[in-house]
Amino acid sequence: MLGTLLNGGAIVVGALAGSLLGDRLPTRVRTGTTDVVGVFVLVLGVSDALETFSPELRAAVGPAAVLVVLGALVLGGMLGELVDIEARLAWVGERLRDRVLGAPPGGEFELAPEPSGPDRDVLEHPLGASDPRHRFVEGFVITTMIVCVGPLAIIGSLQDGLSGDIELLAVKAVLDGSIALAFASALGIGVAFAALPLLVLQGTITLAAAAIAPALTEPMLLALTATGGVLVAALGLRLLEVRAVRVANLLPALVLAPVAASLLS
């Protein structure tokens, strides 16, 4: 659990620092950092997604390697859209917002989740006319998506649970802390609460690692990494406002891909 605690702590520290800096952090630093993070996340995702075409995965599942990843993404996306995971995540953010900031006057605040990452207007004018409750939810939802989705969260937690090696999660902590600093300067303290779902997700994987390790074959891990890479690349596109990908609704693919690889290997 040490790696996950380090990761969560980095998010809280980064978010607190960003909230204190606020508009004293120059606009060009906020937007520039977001662009850098978006590009890095895109490159990281593409790098992992290329495992789809790795000789190891092809040798394990045959020519259907590409279909394993693509099929998992298509079917997983359909399931995610039916359940609407992204809207449910936004609902969690709204409940958390009400507990911290109090219920909004005049009725319930309806959130239309920003589909393309943090709005550039909010990044450039963090203390402007934008509703602070919206910023709280947006900060929580967007940061949660970035820090909780991806192969580092899963493989790093497995590595921590199985061997106590926190190297991958330490790298992730640096990345997530930087993200929290940049986003909190624009979106506020809601970013810090992204540490909660991260602790639950990564902590659960870490604690369960010993039990699931015997069932995770190399083809399953390769399929998981490749599929997670596609989701991370989609997050990069979302951060750069290239395409409004509802990444949360693709999460079921992270379960379907390794299952399909296991059946075919």
In this structure, what token pair is assigned to residue 17? Answer: 């620092």
At 115, the pLDDT band (50, 70, 90 cuts) reads very low
Residue 91 has pLDDT above 60, yes or no: yes
In this structure, what token pair is assigned to residue 13? Answer: 């520290």
pLDDT value of position 100 = 56
Instruction: Name the more confident of 163 and 78.
Output: 78
Residue 263 near residue 250 (C-beta atoms within 8 A): no
* Overall number of domains in the chain: 1
Residue 92 CB neighbours (<10 A): 16
Q: What share of the chain is helix, strand, coil (3-state, %, to 5)?
A: 80, 0, 20
- Alpha-carbon distance of 82 to 29, in angstroms, equals 38
Mean per-residue pLDDT of the chain: 79
pLDDT value of position 142 = 76
Question: 9: closest CA among 194, 163, 167?
Answer: 194
Residue 177 has pLDDT above 50, yes or no: yes
At 101, the pLDDT band (50, 70, 90 cuts) reads low
- To the nearest whole percent, how much of the chain has pLDDT over 90? 22
Residue 123 has pLDDT above 70, yes or no: no
Owning domain of residue 39: 2-264
Residue 203 has pLDDT above 90, yes or no: yes
Residue 187 has pLDDT above 90, yes or no: no
- To the nearest whole percent, how much of the chain has pLDDT over 70? 79
Q: Does this model's pTM top 0.85?
A: no
Of the candidate ranges 65-69, 119-123, 198-202, the one whose mean pLDDT is the lowest:
119-123
Instruction: Write out pLDDT tens, residues 204-252.
Output: 989 987 787 777 788 888 888 888 889 888 878 887 888 878 888 888 9
**Residue 196 CA neighbour count, 13 Å, CB half:** 10
Main-chain dihedrals φ then ψ at residue 241, nearest 5 degrees: 60, 40
| Residue tagged 């909230």 (tokens) | 19
Residue 222 near residue 261 (C-beta atoms within 8 A): yes
Instruction: Write out pLDDT tens, residues 34-86.
Output: 677 778 878 888 988 998 998 988 888 888 889 999 999 999 999 999 998 88
Residue 104 has pLDDT above 90, yes or no: no
Of the candidate ranges 27-36, 39-48, 115-124, the one whose mean pLDDT is the lowest:
115-124
Instruction: Name the more confident of 39 and 154.
Output: 39
